[in-house]
Structure 1
Amino acid sequence: MKIARGRELLTLEQRQDFMQIPEDELILGTYFTFSKRDLEIVNKRRREENRLGFAVQLAVLRYPGWPYTHIKSIPESVIHYISKQIGATPSSISLYPQRENTLWDHLKELRSEYDFVTFTLREYRIAFKHLHQLAFENGDAIHLLHECIDFLRKNKIILPAITTLITSYSRVNG
């Protein structure tokens, strides 16, 4: 693995690792299994691709925590796992979203239904305070980024771009 130079905290490979969706069964079962309530909300959508897209958005907000638009690729096994639960054809995800507004409307509804919060200055300050305390115990960059992501996820704060998280960390540890 290549080591980051200068102010670069993570290599490109490390950044991708943070945003990658694991395919193991524990993660699938823990974060991507829908409750009865989830299914009722998902099934409000008429079109198959919108049901699947909405369900995938919900899943990736839960884990790894980034919005659908930030995720570069979602493993086929994850799409299959989700589509099986909602009775959709996995390939219908390629049709989502046909309208960009659909994607944003779904995100807005997910925030409302599940109390997800957008990362703003307020959330930045909360996370900074949390990380600042942890940095005294363990100042390792990777450890603190994991802690930051876990903290935001537990508090239902939608993760910002990875570069924003890295900037937040560098201010804590810098």
Structure 2
Amino acid sequence: MRLPLILAACLAAAPAAAQEVKFSPDATLDCMEKQRLPGADDTCIGESARVCFQRMKNPSNSDIAACMGKESEYWKGRLDTAYGRMVELAKVADAEFEKTAKSKDIPFSLVEDLAIQQEKWGDWREIRCAVEAMMRRGTPYTMTAAASCTMKRMGEQALFMESAVTYMETK
């Protein structure tokens, strides 16, 4: 709840994005395709935002934050898709596990744990990004710190959830 308030305050204090934001996820996807090391895709988070604001002539902090916001939206879409699929897989896994003798000794639900994890992750992300923004309060970088943090955390969580889906689909 803190981060939306911080972002709103920053946006109210900053001039509106002076330039049109032209965002495409292509740079991030190209970077990920070139990765050779497993798990290195997270190093590509932010590549498309960078291309977005580098195309602009003298981008302001609000322009840069707007590009990061667009990449955050991109990652949120991937996260939402992966989370939805993971819930479907968790329901099947819980139903299958319920049929085993171990289910009486291990009374946990992947569906419930997944929902709790996602809720707690959202709370943690907001607090983490609020701290990063407030460390820069009083400077021109409050808004970009919040936007960068949100973009990175969204991307990391989307990649985590996608890898969880891949694991569940192949086990």
TM-score, length basis structure 1: 0.31
Larger Rg over CA atoms: 2
Structure (1 or 2) with the greater helix fraction: 2
